[in-house]
């Protein structure tokens, strides 16, 4: 019998009804060029079981609260989203955690809500979009937020948003622009010394860090010439980020990520439900087939346990037994995903 991987998924989203209603009121029906998917806690748990995920840390994806022009409305929506997320996680404490939504780019309001979410609601960390209303992470004027997050030793999940520029016809933002958005934020965070001035913050970059691992040396040389630091120092700062594997554990991307990231800094991610279950299975199969057992265990679980000590150790979370037909269907879907990955994997001819 194959042992379940007990993955900890740091990149899984939720779309509460109150959020969907707010987006609909603003005429928003998609995110990053993808239609808003359905979501429920029950569907999340079913998807987790399919991937062998024991615990998922939920977050609100783009556009967050940034679509609201009124700062008070944005702060109010963030509070309601965080109250909802805390309640959902409380119903499934062994299976679900959550990252707090912050009403950026209002730095003072974001700092206040971060304090509430971390100190009072028990959030596992916070979500920050790479840019909010064109204001990128790492820009001037964000120190009040960084101080609060540093004081709490917070995990900051950095998720991409639409670029502050028109999309290119034929290229959906999630396919390419999102990767650039994350890369821009990482560049500015390092350029302006945020990780060095606030060393207790642990930044997790979505989707394997965008283009950062691939372009890190090129960017380090550019930054070294601008700020007068050694390229090796800049690379060390880049490698200090954490990275999730959501849509990024392909035979092309995974070796680059593992060659670049510090040991212990790669975490499992699925991007469900924006990435449908079939996509999650495909990339999970790529991870399962692409690394040695020790590395796989670290990515699936133990690296995340270091960031979220409450999830460390213990016995597997109990899951209610499923009827035999449901178990057979799940097993068949997993086998099909492994087969598809082998058939389309490059370099196997």
Q: What is the pLDDT of residue 322?
A: 52
Rounded CA separation 98/313 (Å) = 19
Do the strands 135-136 and 131-132 form a parallel or antiparallel pair, or are they unpaired? antiparallel
Percent of the chain, pLDDT > 70?
89
Per-residue model confidence as pLDDT tens digits over 234-283: 999 999 999 999 999 999 999 999 999 999 999 999 999 999 999 999 99
Mean pLDDT confidence for 294-298: 97
- Average pLDDT of the chain? 92
Contact yes or no for 154/202 (Cβ under 8 A)? yes
Q: What is the pLDDT of residue 325?
A: 59
Tally of CB atoms within 10 A around 13:
23
Provide the 8-state DSSP code for 148: H
Per-residue model confidence as pLDDT tens digits over 109-142: 999 999 999 999 999 999 999 999 999 999 999 9
Rounded CA separation 335/164 (Å) = 41
Do the strands 30-31 and 242-244 form a parallel or antiparallel pair, or are they unpaired? unpaired
Q: Provide the phi-psi class of 36: left if phi over 0, else alpha when psi is between -120 and 50, else beta.
A: beta
Rounded CA separation 95/255 (Å) = 30
Q: What is the pLDDT of residue 344?
A: 47
Q: What is the pLDDT of residue 1?
A: 40
Closest to 107 in 3D by CA, of 130, 137, 84: 137
Q: Cα separations (Å) of 334 from 46, 72, 249?
A: 13, 46, 16
Q: What's the pLDDT band for 341 if we cut at 50, 70, 90?
A: very low
Q: What is the pLDDT of residue 321?
A: 54
Rounded CA separation 87/341 (Å) = 37
pLDDT tops 70 at residue 185: yes
Q: What is the pLDDT of residue 2?
A: 54
Q: What is the pLDDT of residue 63?
A: 98
Q: What is the pLDDT of residue 4?
A: 77
Per-residue model confidence as pLDDT tens digits over 186-205: 999 999 999 999 999 999 99
pTM: 0.90
Q: What is the pLDDT of residue 348?
A: 46
> What tokens were used for 179?
């990767």
Closest to 97 in 3D by CA, of 109, 75, 112, 82: 82
- Over its C-alpha atoms, the chain yields an Rg (Å, rounded) of 19
Helix (H) or strand (E) holding 97: strand 96-101
Give the burial string for 246-255 (b: 16+ CB within 10 Å, else e): bbbbbeebbe
């Amino acid at each position: 019998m194959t042992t379940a991987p007990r993955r900890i998924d740091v990149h899984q989203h939720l779309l509460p009804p109150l959020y969907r209603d707010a987006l609909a009121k603003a005429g928003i029906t998609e995110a990053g060029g993808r239609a808003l998917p359905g979501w429920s806690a029950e569907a999340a748990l079913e998807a987790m079981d399919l991937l062998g995920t024991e615990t998922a840390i939920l977050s609100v994806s783009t556009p967050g609260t940034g679509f609201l022009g009124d700062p008070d409305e944005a702060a109010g929506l963030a509070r309601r989203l965080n109250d909802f997320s805390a309640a959902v996680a409380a119903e499934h404490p062994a299976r679900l955690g959550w990252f707090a939504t912050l009403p950026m780019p209002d730095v003072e309001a974001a700092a206040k809500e971060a304090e509430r979410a971390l100190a009072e609601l028990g959030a596992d960390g916070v979500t920050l979009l790479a840019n909010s209303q064109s204001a990128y992470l790492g820009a001037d004027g964000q120190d009040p937020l960084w101080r609060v997050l540093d004081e709490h030793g917070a995990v900051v999940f950095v998720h991409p948003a639409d670029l502050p520029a028109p999309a290119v016809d034929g290229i959906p933002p999630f396919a390419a622009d999102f990767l650039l958005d994350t890369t821009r934020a990482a560049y500015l965070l390092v350029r302006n010394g945020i990780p060095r001035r606030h060393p207790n913050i642990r930044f997790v970059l979505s989707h394997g860090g965008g283009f950062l691992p691939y372009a890190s040396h090129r960017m380090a040389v550019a930054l070294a010439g601008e700020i007068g630091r050694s390229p090796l120092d800049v690379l060390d700062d880049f490698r200090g980020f954490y990275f999730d594997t959501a849509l990024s554990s392909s035979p092309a991307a995974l070796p680059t990520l593992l060659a670049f990231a510090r040991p212990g800094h790669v975490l499992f991610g699925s991007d469900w439900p924006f990435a449908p279950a079939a996509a999650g299975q495909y990339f999970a199969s790529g991870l399962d087939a692409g690394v040695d057992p020790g590395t796989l265990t670290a990515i699936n679980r133990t690296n995340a346990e270091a960031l979220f000590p409450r999830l460390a150790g213990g016995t597997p979370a109990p899951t209610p037994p499923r009827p035999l037909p449901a178990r057979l269907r799940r097993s068949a879907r997993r086998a099909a995903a492994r087969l598809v990955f082998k058939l389309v994997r490059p370099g196997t001819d």
